[in-house]
A and B are shown apart, each in its own frame.
Chain A
Amino acid sequence: MDKLELQKIANQIRIGAINAVHCASSGHPGGSLSAADILTYLYFVEMNIDPKNPKMDERDRFVLSKGHVTPGYYATLANRGYFDVSELATFRKVGTRLQGHPAMQYIDGIDMSSGSLGQGLSTAVGMAKAFQMDKKSNRVYALCGDGEIQEGQIWEAAMFAGSNHLDNLTVVVDNNNLQIDGSIEEVNSPYPIDKKFEAFNFNVITIDGHDFDEIAAGFKAAREFKGKPTVIIAKTIKGKGVSFMENNVAWHGSAPNDSQCDQAMADLMKGEVA
C-alpha cells in the first residue's frame, strides 16, 4: 500500500472520528487525530489480522492503552471492515457497542478493554509474555499517550517487558505533548521519554508520527530488533488535520458543534483532494 493510499485512509479515519464525536456530542477528538496515522498503518499494513476472522489465533494483538481515543480507534476498525462505518453514529449512545472506552465484550476485533490509563500496557505485556512462553510468532502492539506515561503502572509494565526481553512487543507513545490540564511539561514532565525507556531496557525509536515513511521504517525496525521490546516515540500534533483543533488542548475531550463540525470536515476534505 503506497503512501498516498495510506494518507487517504487516515483522512477517512479522521472524518469518521470527528463524525462520531459530533454525533455523540461527546468524546476525544484531539488524541484521535494525533494517533490516526499510527492506527492506519497498524491496521492497514503492519498487523497480521483478518476482520473476517477477528479471533484467529495467529493474529497480532493491539491494546489501546490510551483508551479514550475510541473515535479514532473505532473509525479505524470500521474502515478496516470490522463493522459498518454507519455504526460510528451510535458512539457513546445508550445501547451502543461503541462504548466511550474500548470494551472487548462488545466487538470482536477489540483485543482488550481499556480506558483506565496506565492499565493497557500491562495487558499487552501479558499477551507478549504468553506468546513468548509458547514460542509463537504473534506480535503485540500497545498505543500509549504521553500524558498516560505519568501513571506508575506504565513503568511497572515497562520494567517487566525489558527484563523479560519481550521483543515481540512494540509500544507506541503518541507524543502530542498535551494533556487535559495543559502541556505535559507544564503538568508533570515525562521527558526525556527516550532515555527513560532506554533505562528500562527498551529499543527506542523516535519518528514523525504523521510521516508514513518514518512510521513504516519505525515498525520495520521494531520487528527486526531482537532481545528487547521496542518503543516508538511518535512525535505528533494533537488535533492533526483540523486547523482549529491542532495543538489546542481544549479539543482533548470536547465535541464540535454543527458549524465547527462543518469546518472540520472542510479541512479534512482538503486532505481528500490532495
Chain B
Amino acid sequence: MADKIATRISYGETLVELGKIHEDLVVLDADLAAATKTDMFKKAFPERFIDVGIAEANLMGIAAGMSTCGKVPFCSTFAMFAAGRAFEQVRNTIGYPHLNVKIGATHAGITVGEDGASHQCNEDLALMSTIPGMTVIVPSDDIEARAAVKAAYETYGPMYLRFGRAPVDVINDFEGYKFEIGKGVKLKEGKDITIIATGICVGNSLEAAKMLEADGISAEVINIHTIKPLDANIIIESAKKTNRVFTVEEHSIINGLGSQVASTLGENHPVKVTKIGMYDVFGESGPAAELLVKYQFDPTGIYNQIKAKL
C-alpha cells in the first residue's frame, strides 16, 4: 500500500495538470487557497486564478457568470461554505440553469479535526444531491480523486466534488481500475453481507471486511464514488446476492449515501439496510484520527458496528 495522501492535495495537483492542457480552465477560491490546495494552481497560472475573498455566495455567482463566457470554472472553499452557506446560490444560479461549474469542496466531514463542528460539514451530500441535475462525487483516495477531477473537466454540467483534509490510504492502485462517473466499483467479492461505502470510509471498510473475514463473515465491499447519479445496478445486484446491506459514510445518516441506497433497495429489492455514519449529531474538535475512532469510522469501529447489528 502506498503512502497516505489527502484528496485535497490530489485535487490541487490535478488542477495544475489540467491547467497545462486546457486554457479555458479557471480556478476560484474564497481565501482558503492554501487549505483547499488551489494555491498550487495559483502559483502555476496566476492569470487564471481568482480569489474572491471571504465571500462564498459571490464565489458561486462569479463562477456561474464565467461559465457562460467560455470558461470552465472550478471553485473551491470548505464543504461547509460551498454546500451550506452558498446552497441557494448553487441551487438557483448554477443548478437551475445547469451551468458548467465544478465545485471542489474540501474539508468535508469530521476529519476536518481540530476546527470542530462549525467547520465539519456532514450535510453536504444531502444538500447537493437534492439539486436537480447536480452530479455529486466523493473520491475514496488519491487515484480516484485525480480521475474524478479529470472526469469533471471532461463532463459538461454542474458538479460537486467532495475532498478531505486528512491523508487517506491509497486503495485503488490495482490493475484495471477505471473511474466512470455514476459507476460503482466492487473492490471485494463476498457472499454474506454487502458493505457500501464512500469517500474515506471505503478504505476503512475494506479493512473492516478483512476483520469480518477472520470471523467467517464474507463481506462484499462496494465503493460508491458517485452519490448522484447513483449506480443502482451494482447495489441491487449485490443485495440480491447477500440480502444484507451496510452503508458507511463520513456524513449524516440522514439523506446521504445510506438513505439513497436504502431508498433504491426499498423500491427494487427490499433487504435490511443498516446505515453507518454520523447519527444526527454534530462533530467536535480533536485530531482527525482520534475523531475517526470516537465516531467509529476506523476499521475497528466499522467492524464493531457491523458485528453489533448482524
Q: B-contacting residues of A (Cβ < 8 Å)?
A: 57, 61, 63, 103-105, 111-116, 118-131, 133-134, 138, 152-153, 156-157, 159-160
Contact = CB atoms under 8 A, between A and B. Distances in A.
A127 B69 contact: yes
Nearest to A105: B97
A244 B92 CA distance: 34
Nearest to A151: B57
Nearest to B50: A129
Interface stretch (B31-39, B59-67, B191-199): B59-67
B70 A130 contact: yes
A121 B61 contact: yes
Contacts of B65: 63, 112, 122-130
B101 to A, nearest CB: 10
B68 A122 contact: no
**Residue picked from A103, A114, A123, A125, most chain B C-beta under 10 Å:** A123
Interface string B38-71: 0000000001101011010110111111111111
B26 interface: yes
The 7 A-B residue pairs with the shortest CB-CB distance, nearest first, are: A122-B61, A126-B65, A126-B62, A156-B58, A123-B65, A130-B69, A156-B55
A130 B23 CA distance: 12
A114 B48 CA distance: 26
11 contacts: A63-B65, A112-B65, A112-B68, A113-B96, A118-B57, A119-B57, A123-B64, A130-B70, A152-B57, A159-B53, A160-B62
B67 to A, nearest CB: 8
A160 B62 CA distance: 10
Contacts, number: 106
Interface of B: 26, 47-48, 50, 52-53, 55, 57-58, 60-71, 88-89, 92-93, 96-98
Nearest to A118: B57
A96 to B, nearest CB: 16
B195 to A, nearest CB: 40
Contacts of B64: 112, 122-123, 126
Contact of B92 (A119, A159, A160): A119
**Residue picked from B26, B47, B52, most chain A C-beta under 10 Å:** B52
Nearest to B92: A116
A128 B66 CA distance: 8
B26 A133 contact: yes
B61 A157 contact: yes
Nearest to A131: B69
Contacts of A118: 57
A159 to B, nearest CB: 7
A115 B55 contact: no
Contacts of B50: 129
A113 B58 contact: no
Contact of A119 (B47, B69, B93): B93
Contacts of B70: 57, 130, 134
A125 B68 CA distance: 12
Contact of A130 (B61, B71, B92): B71
B47 A123 contact: no
Given A127-B68, A159-B53, A160-B52, A119 B97 contact: no
